[in-house]
Amino acid sequence: MPTEPTGGDTRAILAAGLDPAKPEDAIAATVARVSNWGRWGADDVLGTLNLLDDAKRVEGARLVRRGAAFSLSQPFDMDGPQRGWRRRTNPVHTMLDTGREALDGEFPHGLGGADDVIAMPLQCSTQWDGLGHIFDHGHAWNGRAAADVVTSAGDRVTGIETAADRLAGRGVLLDVGRALGPTTGAGAGELPDGFAITTEHLERTIAAQGVTVGRGDIVCVRTGQYARTRREGWGTYAGGPAPGLSFTTADWLHDTEIAAIATDTWGFEVRPNEFDVAFQPLHQIAIPHLGLFIGEMWDLEALAADCAPGGAGAGVYDFWLTAAPLRITGAVGSPLNPLAVK
C-alpha cells in the first residue's frame, strides 16, 4: 500500500518564492492567478476541453502522414501496478464461457462461442482523471459544492460521459526523459524518481524537438519511468517516488491553454511532492480550478521511439490523437486505449 513520501526536492518552489512548509498558502496564491472558474459560464462541465474545438480536430487530423498507429495504453490485467491503496486493485478478468463449454452443444449446427467479464477500478491502469475526481476545500470544478456534484450515485454534473466526444485532436509528445535524462547506460532517456519537471524544462524540450504547444493541444509528457518499470518490475510505481511535473508548472498549464495532459507515471506530478507535507497539490489546482483533464499511466514508449532520432518518424512529435473515455455515466475517471496516428 503506498504511503505518502514527504520532503521532496524543494528547489523549484524555493526559486518561485514559495515556502515548503506552507502548501495551502502556495495553492491559494496560485489559484488566484490561474483559476478558470466562470470562464466558460456558470453551467460549464467541460473545463479546458472547451479549448479543443472543431478547427483543432481538423488540424489534428491533417497530421496523419504515414498511417502508423501507436497504442498508448498499458495492459489491463492481473499483473498490474496496483497495491490496494484506496481499494484500487488490478483488473480481474473471468471467462463466462470457454471453448470447453462450447462442446456441450448449447447451440445448433456446431456453433460455439466464448464470453467474459472484467472487474476493475476505473483508475487502475491507463486512464483520464475526470473533473469530479479532485476537490479544493470542498469545491469541485467551476466552484460547485463537491457534495452536490459527486454523491453515492456518482458525478451527477461533470461525469466522464460529458467528455465522450471531445478528447480527439492534435497530440504533442514532449519526451523530457530523452531531452534531459542520461544519454547512455541502462537508464538512458529516463528521468530519476523525484525529478521535478519545471516550466524551463518543458520549454527546453519543446525547443529541442522543434515543436509547438498551444491552445487545444493534448500534451503527452514522457519521463521514462514506465520504461524503467518495464525493465525492473512494478516496485512502487503505483504511488511511490516518481519524476513528474513541478507544482510551479501550474501557470504554464494555464497559460498555454492546452486541453489535456498525460504522463507515463502513476500520479502526473513529481513524487515526493515538493512541500514538507503535501499530497498531490498540483492536482488540487489543475482539476478543480483549471478544469484540466489529466491522463496517467500512459505507455509512451513505442511512440517516443518512433519520434526519436533513428525512428521511422524521427523529428515529428505531433500527431492525431484519439483518447475517448468510456461513456460510464457518473464516473469520475475512465480507462482508455489512446491511439496516436502519425
Q: Which of 91-105, 281-295, 309-323 has the lowest mean pLDDT?
A: 91-105
Taking domain 11-88+123-341, whether its CATH number is 3.30.360.10 is answered by no
**Could you tell me the pLDDT band of residue 105, with boundaries at 50, 70 and 90?**
confident
Instruction: Assess whether pLDDT exceeds 60 at residue 111.
Output: yes
> Quick one: pLDDT at residue 5?
58
Instruction: Assess whether pLDDT exceeds 60 at residue 82.
Output: yes
First to last CA, the chain: 39
The structural domains of the chain, with segments of one domain joined by +, span 11-88+123-341, 91-119
Condensed to tens digits (0 to 9), the pLDDT of residues 184-242 reads 998 999 999 999 999 999 999 999 999 999 999 999 999 999 999 999 999 999 999 99
Place of cell 469541485: 140
Instruction: Assess whether pLDDT exceeds 60 at residue 2.
Output: no
Apex CA 27: angle with CA 11 and CA 12, to 5°?
10
Condensed to tens digits (0 to 9), the pLDDT of residues 272-283 reads 999 999 999 999
> Quick one: pLDDT at residue 1?
40
Q: Are 220 and 177 in contact (CB under 8 A)?
A: no
For a pLDDT cut of 90, what percent of the chain falls above it? 91
DSSP characters over 53-109: -HHHHHHHHTT-SS--EEE-BPP-SSSSS---GGG----EEEEEE-HHHHTT--SST
d(CA 114, CA 102): 8
Instruction: Assess whether pLDDT exceeds 60 at residue 142.
Output: yes
Tell me whether strands 244-245 and 333-335 are parallel, antiparallel or unpaired: unpaired
Apex CA 337: angle with CA 333 and CA 338, to 5°?
95
Apex CA 257: angle with CA 256 and CA 260, to 5°?
110
Question: Residue 74: which of 12, 123, 6, 14 has the closest Cα?
Answer: 123
d(CA 301, CA 224): 8
User: Per this entry, what is the length of the chain?
Assistant: 342
Condensed to tens digits (0 to 9), the pLDDT of residues 175-193 reads 999 999 999 998 999 999 9
pLDDT mean over 316-330: 98
Burial label for 321, CB within 10 Å (0-12, 13-18, 19+), is: buried
Q: Which three cell numbers stand for residue 314?
A: 524521427
CA distances to 70, 101, 127, 307 from 338, in Å: 8, 34, 9, 17
Q: Which of 48-57, 96-105, 253-262 has the lowest mean pLDDT?
A: 96-105
pTM of the model: 0.96
Our CA dihedral for 170, 52, 327, 133, rounded to 10 degrees, sits at 110
> Quick one: pLDDT at residue 6?
66
E-strand stretches of 104-206: 115-119, 127-129, 150-151, 154-155, 168-175, 196-197
Burial label for 54, CB within 10 Å (0-12, 13-18, 19+), is: exposed
Average pLDDT over the chain, rounded to an integer: 96
Condensed to tens digits (0 to 9), the pLDDT of residues 7-27 reads 789 999 999 999 999 999 999
Instruction: Assess whether pLDDT exceeds 60 at residue 300.
Output: yes
Provide the residue type at 36 as one letter.
N
